Structure 1
Amino acid sequence: MHILLTGGTGLIGRQLCRHWLSQGHRLTVLSRTPEKVAKICGAQVRGVALFEDLGQEPVDAIINLAGAPIADRPWTSRRKALLWASRITLTETLLAWLETRAQKPQVLISGSAIGWYGDSGERELTEASPPSIDDFASQLCIAWEETAQRAEAMGIRVILIRTGLVLSAEGGFLSRLLLPFKLGLGGPLGSGRQWMPWIHINDQIALIDFLLHRIDASGPYNACAPKPVRNREFAKTLGAVLHRPAFMPMPALALKVCLGELSLLLLGGQKAVPARLLEAGFTFQFTDLRAALDDLSSRL
């Protein structure tokens, strides 16, 4: 199978490349620095700077994960524009390219996030739950999904991956928590009551591969473990795994002052469950947070 990835040099994309190379698939990664793709993703992975560089070469599946990191810095007007362009504008460019192709791919798996639902309090969220459009992260995900779904009009099956907080030793949000926790300064954010939908990187890769090979899979899937935890429980468990205390809370006011609108992403939460994945028969390797963190601990 020939698979084209956007965002292939990111945390999830790199792991997908390793996984699919081991299965013998042919991989192409769209990148602003295509000359670096082979080093980052694997010697057999081809890098291209533009979709047009592929010509009319057949592509069986597209994995659309490109997007600037959403929590790296405050959401200034300029940062919001970059977040939007790196997701929605790039997906629109992808659609325009697909329109020109005589042979269309069978499936488009496009990224999204649990943030699609917005801050949802205590409500349990399945894929049938409605979104809250009160915050920028939710609006961003809604627009990203709606743009990707336009590929269905070309006869392409579209799968939307609403990813939770990915636990990995190679980067992501967990790496940003390590320093304060190792210094004994870790703890809950705000009240600590907000729900955190998490997923181990191994399960993230496995579920994308699972959906790629299911010809009946389409629409949104919550990519998170079946047992979300509250922020205070996450902090306590991470502290225990690192053998450090985790009782230094970060006051909500301080987060709002330092991060502005971005603080809503950290102080809000989603009690999301992977209802559709479980119904489809996907089996999670990690359903317990402590077991997931223990698995990563030697590499943290």
Structure 2
Amino acid sequence: MNEIKVVIAGGSGFIGQKLTNFLLEKGHEIIILTRKTKEHPLENVSYVEWLNDGDAPENSLENVDVFINLAGVSINDGRWSKKHQERIYQSGMIATKELIRIISTLLNKPSTLINASAVGIYPQSLHHIYTEESLEVANDFLGKTVKDWEETAKQAEQFGVRTAFMRFGVVLGKGASALSLMTLPYKLFAGGTVGSGKQWVSWVHEMDVIRVIEFAIENPKIRGPVNVTAPSPMRMKEFGQTIGAVLKRPHWVPAPAFAIKIALGEKSKLVLEGQQVQPKVLLDEGFTFKFPTLKEALKDLLIK
């Protein structure tokens, strides 16, 4: 891929930092949208302030090739109180609406907008297999939130901007909260089946997330929903057993559903319910996963 200019909103987050470093290594120019300019900026990265009163980021964003929106409060952070749910929803909506406004003002539009999304848009099911062609939307907080995010981002298409929604599964990565929570009980020799164990976990290795985003930038055929999940989702019981096997720890202490609901509130749906999601768009377009199986992914992330 030729050198391009990429704007990243949410560049200081878990995925954003790794993506920034990856794209820098490829020789691309990176602009990070931030509420506060960094005191110790990265080399070859420029920062543009946004979302503060009086900010006009569009004045610094002409001739940009790609916008990547990873901004917003992570769905993995905090307990899902009504107040926190509102923060998750609004942070994503405000950032996406502002990106659409910026794009609308630019004389030279970017070719592509890649917007963060989530497989939580699909309803929970023990039996159904979801692809990007599935039209069902979950009738819960996450389903409605993701649907609104995507509909807002889709407005970029009216300006001739190719738009793709990265529907992330459970991202497994070093330092990622999801993997830390899943592996901690096993490290304490207290790992076991969570809930019924029959619920699906559609997961993906952090490196494949970054590679998918690069693939989407390069491939003009990719637009609309993109399931960013490994092609081998697993039921929770098998998922836990695989963690135990890789860490050489027992899988024996069950975590009952009622205890998880008490601890996490509505957020418990992320671990007690799930979806079997397949990355049909990526596979059809010839994307090759570096970590297609959970065992390979966990060995890379957990074994030093």
On whether the aligned pair clears a TM of 0.5, the verdict is yes
CA root-mean-square deviation: 1.6
**AA at the equivalent of 2:253:** M
Residue of structure 2 equivalent to 1:232? 237
| Distance in 2 of aligned mates of 1:132 and 1:151 | 22
Specify the code of the residue in structure 2 equivalent to 1:15.
K
Match of residue 112 from structure 1: 117
Q: Distance in 1 between matches of 2:136 and 2:94?
A: 22
- The letter for the 2-side match of 1:20 is L
Q: In structure 2, do the counterparts of structure 1 residues 167 and 32 end up closer, same or farther at CA, with 3 Å as the change threshold?
A: same
SS, match of residue 34 in structure 1: coil
CA displacement at 1:37 relative to structure 2: 7.0
Post-superposition offset of 1:207: 1.1
Instruction: Using the TM superposition, give the Cα deviation of residue 48 of structure 1 relative to its aligned residue in structure 2, in angstroms.
Output: 2.1
1:73 positional shift: 2.1
**Deviations 1:18-58, CA, capped at 9 Å, x for gaps:** 111111110011123331573xxx32212222172351532
Distance change in 2, residues 1:113/1:36 (3 Å): farther
Whole-Å separation in 2 of the counterparts to 1:98 and 1:14? 23
Equivalent in the alignment of 2:36: 33
Deviation by residue 1:187-211 (Cα, 9 ceiling, x = unmatched)? 2221011010111111111111011
By how many angstroms is 1:298 displaced?
Answer: 2.8
Out of 104, 123, 131, the residue aligned to residue 99 of structure 1 is 104
- Mapped to 1, the partners of 2:267 and 2:177 lie a distance apart of 17
Does the aligned pair in 2 maintain the 1:120–1:132 contact within 8 Å? no
Alignment partner, residue 287 of structure 2: 282
Aligned to 2:95: 90
Matched with 2:57 is 53
Helix, strand or coil for the counterpart of 2:295? helix
Q: Distance in 1 between matches of 2:255 and 2:176?
A: 22
Instruction: Check conservation: 2:123, 2:275, Cα contact below 8 A.
Output: yes
- Measure, in 2, the Cα distance between the counterparts of 1:192 and 1:160: 29
- Does the CA-based 8 Å contact 2:125-2:275 persist in structure 1? yes
Residue from 255, 258, 270 that aligns with 1:253: 258
Q: CA deviation at 1:265?
A: 2.1
- Measure the CA separation in 2 of the matches of 1:280 and 1:230: 26
Greater Cα shift, 171-180 or 120-129: 171-180
Equivalents in 2 of 1:96, 1:269: separation in Å?
34
User: Aligned match of 2:228 in 223, 227, 238?
Assistant: 223
Cα distance change on mapping 1:114 and 1:283 into 2, 3 Å: same
Which AA in structure 1 matches 2:28?
A: H
Would you say 1:18 and 2:21 are equivalent positions?
A: yes
- Alignment check: 8 A CA contact 2:58 2:105 kept: no
In the aligned structure 2, how far is the partner of 1:29 from the partner of 1:104?
17
Aligned residues, how many? 296
Residues 37, 47 of structure 1: 8 Å contact kept = no
CA contact (8 A) 1:159 1:217 kept: yes
1:4 aligns to what? 7
Aligned counterparts of 1:214 and 1:185: Cα–Cα separation in 2: 44
Q: Which residue of 1 aligns with 2:44?
A: 44
Given residue 43 of structure 2, which amino acid in structure 1 is its aligned partner? A
Cα distance in 1 for partners of 2:114, 2:243 equals 31
> In terms of mean alpha carbon deviation, does 220-229 or 29-38 score higher?
29-38
Alpha-carbon distance in 2 for matches of 1:275, 1:10: 27
Any unmatched runs of 5+ in structure 2? Answer: none
Cα shift readout 1:203-257 (whole Å, capped 9, x = no counterpart): 1111110110112221111101111001111111111111211222211111122
Which secondary structure state, in structure 2, belongs to the residue aligned with residue 85 of structure 1? helix
Kept in 2: contact 1:67–1:83 (CA 8 A): yes
Question: Under a length normalisation based on structure 1, what TM-score does the superposition of the two structures give?
Answer: 0.94
Equivalence map 1:178-193=2 (5 Å)? 178-193=183-198
Letter in 2 for 1:49: E
Cα distance change, pair 176–215 in 1 and its aligned pair in 2 (3 A): same
Tell me the alpha carbon deviations over residues 112-163 of structure 1, each in whole angstroms, 9 at most, x when there is no partner. 0111103122101110112333211111111111110011011111011101
1:114-263, aligned counterparts within 5 Å?
A: 114-263=119-268
- Specify the code of the residue in structure 2 equivalent to 1:2: K
- The structural deviation recorded for 1:177 is 2.7
Amino acid at match of 1:14: Q
* 1:35 alignment partner, SS class: coil
* Cα distance in 2 between the residues matched to 1:190 and 1:34: 44
Match of 2:79? 74
Query: Structure 1 residue 176: deviation in Å?
Result: 2.4
